[in-house]
Amino acid sequence: MAHSGTEITADLIRDLRRARHPDLAERPLRLGARGWDNQLWRLGDDLAVRLPWATADADTLLRKEHAWLPLLAPRLPLPVPVPRHLGEPSDRFPRPWLLTTWLPGTPADLAPATRAQEAADALAAFLTALHEPAPADAPAGRDRGGSLADHDARVRGGLAHAAALGLLSDGTACAARALWADAAAAPAWPGPAVWLHGDLHAANVLTADGTFCGLIDFGDLCAGDPACDLAAAWTLLPDGAADRCLAAYRPAPDPATVRRARGWALARALGCLLISAADHRGRKPTWGPPARAALRRLTATR
């Protein structure tokens, strides 16, 4: 069901296509995924339809992607879904929806990267290209790319909750608290706000042949501290590959940025771990293994 109460079905999407894109009306259609904010339906071989289905702010996220992603996509070294059309709310469906390109590949929560060197180099090249200074009118993020101190209560509470649920051992929880304290105490980012993906967890990265082949879901695109995205060196890469990624990234991150990136990695892995064990419709069991692997990497290297 969508947040509006409208059920999202193949018939609904066919009706929307006939009204806006009759040339696409006969293309085969199948459900691709039910994400946190949107449902993704594959349209033929090369297109997709994304529709808000759960959260109230999904409309804003889709409009953000439509406005900004076509401007950024040409300079990025990995494929990203490029919006083709923004469908406005109508009597048939009272929310915006997005027609975009379809990217082949398997989400990394189902098929993690295994070729460490290739994946580290691909991630570093993507982040180097993306992290250009953003314009003054760049969109704001949902608590992404700012001060880690703003997340202190949530992260500490999440660690306590995860430990109480038995998701973290006492040793891991202790090491995670020490890592978080160090990251939160690191000097703030002194440079300009740069473009950020803002939500680089395993379900938003595609793999093929053991390395990354695309990035999806730019709804949290925003401007801020590059450490927010550099967290992916620990949350997405195989064991031992984080250092190679950080060495290849430009400009080379200073020690304070690495400390903050580790804090962002901890916060993201913790959030995914808790979502994987949730007892509501938002539960994502496949997010658990990559989250646990990231927490192991982070706490084992301190």
Residues 6+ apart with CB under 8 A from 252: 246
pLDDT tens digit string along 244-281?
999 999 999 999 999 999 999 999 999 999 999 987 66
- Give the angle 128-183-198 at the CA atoms, nearest 5°: 40
Q: Which has the higher per-residue pLDDT, 283 or 127?
A: 127
CA pair distance 219, 210, nearest whole angstrom: 26
pLDDT tens digit string along 33-90?
887 788 999 999 999 999 998 788 889 999 999 999 999 999 999 999 999 999 999 9
Per-residue model confidence (pLDDT) at position 243: 97
Give the CA dihedral 248, 254, 259, 265, nearest 10 degrees: -30
Portion of the chain with pLDDT greater than 70, in percent: 97
For residue 49, count CB atoms less than 10 angstroms from its CB and return exposed for 0-12, middle for 13-18, buried for 19 or more.
Answer: buried
Whether residue 20 has pLDDT greater than 70: yes
Per-residue model confidence (pLDDT) at position 57: 85
Average pLDDT score, the chain: 93
Instruction: Give the pair of three-digit tokens for residue 112.
Output: 């993690």
What average pLDDT score do residues 87-106 get? 94
> What b/e sequence results for 106-125 when a residue is b if at least 16 CB atoms lie within 10 Å of its CB, and e otherwise?
ebbbeebbebbeebbbbbbb
Portion of the chain with pLDDT greater than 90, in percent: 82
CA pair distance 116, 238, nearest whole angstrom: 6
Q: Look up tokens 């390395």; give the residue.
A: 211
Per-residue model confidence (pLDDT) at position 80: 98
| Type of residue found at 260 | R
Per-residue model confidence (pLDDT) at position 5: 61
Per-residue model confidence (pLDDT) at position 4: 54
* Residue 18 confidence class, pLDDT cut points 50, 70, 90: confident
CA-wise closest residue to 53 among 282, 242, 227: 282
Per-residue model confidence (pLDDT) at position 301: 58
Give the CA dihedral 85, 64, 68, 236, nearest 10 degrees: -110
